[in-house]
């Protein structure tokens, strides 16, 4: 079951240096015909974040083919660590307004690229480890 506290950082496993927490926000701007992807991968055991902000008006296979792509690695994890409200040095600011449901995404590269979007979930989160949410298991159990 996904709970509100799952919007926060989970305790990292010290045995796994590459332990990760991620945020991904993908959306389409129909007025400008732009596909947007905002991603942050936190490696809290290493104290780093990998972030990408990609904006594209056409189909591409790789990130670097996009019209705009700001990909950064080894950004220091902001202190205090707060997955519900973080600002990265690349200009990305994410605030969780309702845990696992509503976020405010702001990005400004300091030049001419800006994003200011309220991002809302279309449905409750799906927990792949929760048997009660697994339609296949539920179907087999009913037989």
Per-residue pLDDT reduced to its tens digit, 52-105:
999 999 998 888 899 999 999 999 999 999 999 999 999 999 999 999 999 999
pLDDT of residue 63: 85
pLDDT of residue 140: 61
Closest CA to 37 of 23, 49, 27: 27
- Rounded to a whole number of angstroms, the distance between the first and last alpha carbons of the chain is 24
pLDDT band per the 50, 70, 90 thresholds, residue 142: low
Residue at 132 is within a domain: no
Residue at 99 is within a domain: yes
Residue at 5 is within a domain: no
Number of domains in the chain: 1
pLDDT of residue 136: 73
**Rounded Cα–Cα distance for residues 56 and 36 (Å):** 7
Tell me which residue range forms the domain holding 67: 13-123
Which residues sit opposite 116 in a β-bridge?
106
pLDDT of residue 130: 86
Share of the chain above pLDDT 70, in %: 95
Residue at 3 is within a domain: no
Q: What is the H or E stretch that residue 97 is in?
A: strand 92-98
**Rounded Cα–Cα distance for residues 71 and 54 (Å):** 8
Q: What are phi and psi of 65, to 5 degrees?
A: -85, -10
Residue at 139 is within a domain: no
**Contacts (Cβ under 8 Å, ≥6 apart) of 48:** 42, 73, 74, 75, 76, 77
Which pairing describes strands 21-29 and 34-43: parallel, antiparallel, or unpaired? antiparallel
Q: In this model, does residue 42 exceed pLDDT 80? A: yes
Token code pair at residue 81: 């660590």
Residue at 60 is within a domain: yes
Residue at 112 is within a domain: yes
pTM given for the model: 0.89
Q: Mean pLDDT in the chain?
A: 94
Residue at 43 is within a domain: yes
pLDDT of residue 139: 65
pLDDT of residue 143: 56
**Rounded Cα–Cα distance for residues 57 and 46 (Å):** 35
Which residues sit opposite 98 in a β-bridge?
102
């Amino acid at each position: 079951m996904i709970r509100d506290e799952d919007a926060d950082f989970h305790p990292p496993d010290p045995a796994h240096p590459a332990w990760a927490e991620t945020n991904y926000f993908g959306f389409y701007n129909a007025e400008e015909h732009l596909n947007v992807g905002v991603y942050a991968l936190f490696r809290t055991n290493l104290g780093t974040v990998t972030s990408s902000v990609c904006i594209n008006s056409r189909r591409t296979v790789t990130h670097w083919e996009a019209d705009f792509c700001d990909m950064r690695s080894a950004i220091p994890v902001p202190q205090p660590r707060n997955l519900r409200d973080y600002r990265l040095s690349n200009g990305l600011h994410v605030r969780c307004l309702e845990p696992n449901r509503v976020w405010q995404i702001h990005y400004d590269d300091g030049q001419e690229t800006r994003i200011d979007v309220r991002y809302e979930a279309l449905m409750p989160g799906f927990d792949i480890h929760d048997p009660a949410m697994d339609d296949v298991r539920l179907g087999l159990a009913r037989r």
